[in-house]
Amino acid sequence: MRLILAEDQFLLREGLVKLLEAHGHQVVTAVTSGPALRTALATEEFDVALVDIRLPPGFTDEGLQAALEARRARPGLPVLLLSQYVEQLYATELLADGAGGVGYLLKDRVFDGEQFITALRTVAGGGTVMDEDVVSGMVGRSDRLAALTARELETLALVAQGRSNAAIAARMFVTEKAVAKNINSILAKLQLPPSTDDNRRVLAVLAYLDA
């Protein structure tokens, strides 16, 4: 994969570059500010952008806003956000266009290189990856989930993290058939039409939960 990396902290930026290169990927450019990220997103050829939400000069949401601007120009442009904080509004804005190719991970919860690279590949391929704390916050805020059973809520959280039916089945110690049945029940109770497109399903569920 070819990546744009936006991270202002020197040690973290260099560490990410080395990690990505060690896995055979190319960082086409590494930038340290919101304006530089906007330029890179508009001019570079890349497969996915790895973006810190808070960048200079303001250290608020410059990274997010640059990513959203780029995705408005190129719907579905793959972007994986990194943050130290769980911000539901950021997740909502990122998911709002429904185009897929998005991710939101917390820096202090990335413990495994292979898992991180898998998340990048998922986003680059048009999938959705959300940290479970972000998902839990979105799930926990919705009164529309009252009809779901505890098992369905657990399944929904795993779906929203971008896990496949097979991965959910392994996590919950059930069959894939049972997972598929739970998901169909969830979509029916939330009045969302069943879909074979996993990414669209995740986006639809998250959008509904945050409505």
Per-residue pLDDT of the chain (211 residues; tens, 9 = 90+): 999 999 999 999 999 999 999 999 999 999 999 999 999 999 999 999 999 999 999 999 999 999 999 999 999 999 999 998 877 778 778 877 777 889 999 988 887 888 899 999 999 998 888 887 776 666 555 566 778 888 888 888 787 777 788 989 998 999 999 999 988 888 888 777 666 555 566 656 665 555 4
The domain that holds 143 is classified in CATH as 1.10.10.10
- 196 exposure class (CB count in 10 Å sphere: 0-12, 13-18, 19+): exposed
Domain check: are 28 and 120 in the same one? yes
Domain check: are 123 and 32 in the same one? yes
The domain that holds 98 is classified in CATH as 3.40.50.2300
Residue 60 neighbours by CB under 8 Å, 6+ apart: 54
Residue linked to tokens 């972000």? 134
Helix intervals (H) in 131-191? 132-140, 150-160, 165-172, 176-189
| Cα–Cα distance for residue pair 48/176, rounded to 1 Å | 30
Domain check: are 112 and 170 in the same one? no
State the residue range of the domain holding 16.
2-130
Domain check: are 126 and 142 in the same one? no
Encoded amino acid at 79, one letter: V
Q: What is the model's pTM?
A: 0.74
Distances (CA, A) of 1 to 10, 120, 122, 162: 22, 9, 11, 20
- 202 exposure class (CB count in 10 Å sphere: 0-12, 13-18, 19+): buried
Q: Which of 99, 130, 161 is the last residue of a domain?
A: 130
Q: Which of 130, 152, 167 is the last residue of a domain?
A: 130
Domain check: are 94 and 118 in the same one? yes
